[in-house]
Amino acid sequence: MGDEQPAGRRGRALRDAAARAGRSLGMVDLDPVLRAHRAGYPKAKMGPVRRAYETAELAHRGQARKSGEPYIIHPIEVTLILAELGMDTATLQAALLHDTIEDTAYTLDELRSDFGDEIAVLVDGVTKLDGSKWGERAEAETFRKMILAAAADLRVLLIKLADRLHNLRTLGFQPAHKQQRIARQSQELLIPFAERLGMYELKREMDDLCFSVLQPEAHQAIAAALAGNEAGGRLILEPAVRRLRASLKDQRLSAEVVLHRRHLWAVHLDVGRRLDTLQPADLFRMLVLVDGEDRDCYIALGAVHESMSPVPGRLKDFISLPRFNLYRALHTRVIADGGKVMDVIIRTRQMHRMAERGLAAHIHDVARGQRADVAGRIDLEWLRRLLAWQNDASSADFLESLRGDLRPDLIAAFTTEGEVVPLPPGATPIDFAYALGPEIGNHAIGALVNGRLAPLHARLESGAVVHILTAETARPSAEGLDAATTPTARLLIRRHLAAQRADDAAVRGRRMVAEAVAATGWELLDLESRGVSGSVAARLGYRELDDLYGAVAAGDVELDDLVTRLTTDSA
């Protein structure tokens, strides 16, 4: 590829060269992608997808993956995942091109000229930073860059998730240490993103693939146990299914009842290695898919409780109060045949589609003109808040806060305006305050929790409505640090306390210098206004006078030597 070609001409030149050579670009390999895309978008033009494929195939030609397959197989498989999720044409083009900037001579400027700004932004958002330049910070800074791009266009995250899913599917070709690193990183950062976006279909597969790498023996044991007990479990639960179907029919409600097999990782989290106690209810969730509206789910709930005994206090209504990722359903726990506890999930067909595909389903509906753009209602406000104060955060601090915010066991607290604020169990009002923003956290003095006055160290329960009380004169304190539990709150409080200590040291140091200079007959304020102090500070390697004075207070700069320099320069 000739680097002398202007941006935008290389892709066209490569395609023209292939056409002149009469060489087929392997469109048979792209057919599954085109079929899936056409199924979701019957009127979509396939030319733009083919053109992106041609450019990617030529750019990657001659490259191979660890498996020995041509490299182009990877972007095709990533694109197929997204096409089957119903993603739009631009996303599929970006997916086909997503590794060209990182792994070939094709540049971002050329891609932008060939395919436009929209595709360029998506590709750039998922392109890793150069490890040789960024070193150990490359991973954190790549995530920071990706999240910045996702704040403007969430499709960046979807491409990244599809990319990681295919990499996990083919992880067996990587060396063992790399398998462990990729699987662990996926569990900590990528899988929680899938859950935040409501994409449980991807999440379940990624969970099990990581499980197989990180705990291969436990994975194999769970897989064997489920395979050996699935048929028998279905037989045992079938009478309960029949009773529920009859009860739904009595209510004149059209609904499908299915036994939904749980994925391996979820079963492992519940039963661990106690496989000898495995019960049919551990393997399945009873899923009721209602052909109707939201209100019909409540009718179905009555049918469930009529056919099986409900467990008191175990009803969760995610229809009237959706989760932060827009997940909606009714969850109830009942006692099925043999006295075994069984979980039942009730959804409409549309809720089920959203529960499985989340943001991807919303984007598909928006692109098809079937609904208004509701993707922004998925709670990524926490990402914007995170980025608002972390532009200058260290890589380690950024990753620590990101992992904390992506914990899977978050509770939901609410502002008085009804905004959902996800927090970890055990969180306090000071954590809530900093989740709203540094200024609110820095000036917090107390809280109203469910209308009652509460201290900043009080523990919040899920569903709490919180109003933070502030005072302009309030500042973060060591007591606030003790009360904080989230990485974000603790980092911001520590940062403020460190800055306050630096300010206090600068005040003490300046006082020391002023007294010493006055003893020689000079005024420090006069030396500062004439620029003498600033010049001396610069020669000593300090950018700010406060840094110099702080060093005096810490004993890092000899006071007598500094006074000599100041008075000599002022002469």
Residue 2 reports pLDDT greater than 70: no
Cβ contact 311:278 at 8 Å:
no
DSSP state of 437: -
- The answer to whether position 386 is within a domain reads no
Q: Which CATH number covers residue 191?
A: 1.10.3210.10
Active-site position among 4, 29, 57, 102 = 102
Chain mean pLDDT for the chain: 84
pLDDT given at position 7? 43
In a shared domain, residues 204 and 229:
no
- DSSP letter string, 86-118: T--HHHHHHHHHTTHHHHSS--HHHHHHHH-HH
**E strand or H helix that includes residue 559:** helix 559-570
- The answer to whether position 304 is within a domain reads yes
Residue % of the chain over a pLDDT of 90 = 41
Give the residue from 185, 172, 182 showing the smallest Cα distance to 406.
185
Residue 26 reports pLDDT greater than 80: no
Residue 374 reports pLDDT greater than 50: no
The 3-class secondary structure across 473-502, one letter per residue, is CCCCCHHHHHHCCCHHHHHHHHHHHHHHHH
Q: Which CATH number covers residue 421?
A: 3.10.20.30
Residue % of the chain over a pLDDT of 70 = 85
In 3-state terms, what secondary structure has residue 251? coil
What's the rounded Cα separation, in Å, for the pair 8 and 122?
17
- The answer to whether position 264 is within a domain reads yes
**Separation in Å, CA 474 to CA 367, 455, 477, 537:** 48, 14, 9, 33
pLDDT given at position 275? 78
What is the pLDDT averaged over residues 447-472? 92
- Using the structure block, give the residue that is written with the tokens 């892709």: 11
Residue 52 reports pLDDT greater than 60: yes
pLDDT given at position 106? 92
In a shared domain, residues 147 and 158:
yes
In a shared domain, residues 346 and 419:
no
Cβ contact 326:363 at 8 Å:
no
177 or 380, which is more confident: 177
Residue 19 reports pLDDT greater than 50: no
In 3-state terms, what secondary structure has residue 255? strand
The CB density around residue 501, as the number of other CB atoms within 10 Å, is: 11
Both tokens assigned to 19: 């056409």
Extended beta strands in 224-298, E state? 255-261, 284-290
Active-site position among 29, 103, 118, 547 = 103
The residue out of 196, 214, 232 marking a domain boundary is 214
> How many domains would you assign to the chain?
4
Cβ contact 303:247 at 8 Å:
yes
- DSSP letter string, 499-540: HHHHHHHHHHHHHHHHHHHHTTT--HHHHHHTTHHHHHHHHT
206-238: burial string, b at 16+ Cβ within 10 Å, e else: bbbbbbbbbeeebbeebbebbeebeeebeebbe
Our answer to whether residue 102 is catalytic in this structure is: yes
In a shared domain, residues 199 and 233:
no
53-92: burial string, b at 16+ Cβ within 10 Å, e else: bbbbbbbbeeeebeeeebbbbbbbbbbbbbbbbbbbbbbb
The residue out of 309, 337, 367 marking a domain boundary is 367
Which pTM value belongs to this model?
Answer: 0.75
In 3-state terms, what secondary structure has residue 466? strand
What's the rounded Cα separation, in Å, for the pair 299 and 321?
18
What is the pLDDT averaged over residues 438-466? 92
pLDDT given at position 410? 76
- DSSP letter string, 288-352: EEESS-HHHHHHHHHHHHHHSEEPTT--EETTTS--TT----EEEEEE-GGG-EEEEEEEEHHHH
Residue 449 reports pLDDT greater than 70: yes
Query: What is the Cβ-side half-sphere exposure of residue 16, based on CA atoms within 13 angstroms?
Result: 6
Pairing of strands 341-348, 330-335: antiparallel
pLDDT given at position 370? 60
pLDDT given at position 392? 57
What is the pLDDT averaged over residues 8-16? 51
In 3-state terms, what secondary structure has residue 422? strand
pLDDT given at position 386? 59
pLDDT given at position 134? 59
Lowest mean pLDDT among 406-410, 462-466, 488-492: 406-410
Our answer to whether residue 479 is catalytic in this structure is: no
In 3-state terms, what secondary structure has residue 41? coil
- The answer to whether position 243 is within a domain reads yes
In a shared domain, residues 426 and 550:
no
Q: How many residues does the chain have?
A: 571
pLDDT given at position 27? 42
Residue 339 reports pLDDT greater than 80: no
- The answer to whether position 227 is within a domain reads yes
pLDDT given at position 110? 94
The CB density around residue 324, as the number of other CB atoms within 10 Å, is: 19
Residue 307 reports pLDDT greater than 70: yes
**Separation in Å, CA 465 to CA 179, 412, 414, 415:** 43, 9, 5, 6
In a shared domain, residues 113 and 241:
no
148 or 299, which is more confident: 299
Cβ contact 61:101 at 8 Å:
no
pLDDT given at position 329? 94
pLDDT digits (tens, 9 = 90+) for 553-569: 888 888 888 888 888 86
166-183: burial string, b at 16+ Cβ within 10 Å, e else: bbbebbeebeeeebeebb
The residue out of 214, 241, 266 marking a domain boundary is 214
What's the rounded Cα separation, in Å, for the pair 187 and 60?
29
pLDDT given at position 458? 93
pLDDT given at position 129? 66
Residue 189 reports pLDDT greater than 70: yes
State which residues form the domain around 225.
217-367
In a shared domain, residues 110 and 141:
yes
pLDDT given at position 35? 93
- DSSP letter string, 357-408: HHHHHHHHHHHTTSS---GGGSS-HHHHHHHHH-TTS-HHHHHHHHHHHT-T
To the nearest 10°, report the CA torsion of 524, 526, 528, 530.
Answer: -150
In a shared domain, residues 444 and 352:
no
pLDDT digits (tens, 9 = 90+) for 225-260: 888 888 888 888 899 999 999 999 999 999 999 999
Confidence of residue 24 (pLDDT cuts 50, 70, 90): very low
Q: Which CATH number covers residue 343?
A: 3.30.460.10
In a shared domain, residues 24 and 173:
yes
In a shared domain, residues 310 and 283:
yes
Give the residue from 131, 117, 209, 126 showing the smallest Cα distance to 161.
126
Residue 440 reports pLDDT greater than 60: yes
What's the rounded Cα separation, in Å, for the pair 498 and 119?
43
- The answer to whether position 398 is within a domain reads no
Cβ contact 532:566 at 8 Å:
yes
- The answer to whether position 402 is within a domain reads no
pLDDT given at position 253? 93
To the nearest 10°, report the CA torsion of 239, 240, 241, 242.
Answer: 50
In a shared domain, residues 39 and 72:
yes
What's the rounded Cα separation, in Å, for the pair 101 and 123?
8
- Specify the amino acid at residue 244: L
Confidence of residue 466 (pLDDT cuts 50, 70, 90): very high
In a shared domain, residues 331 and 445:
no
- The answer to whether position 130 is within a domain reads yes
Residue 85 reports pLDDT greater than 60: yes
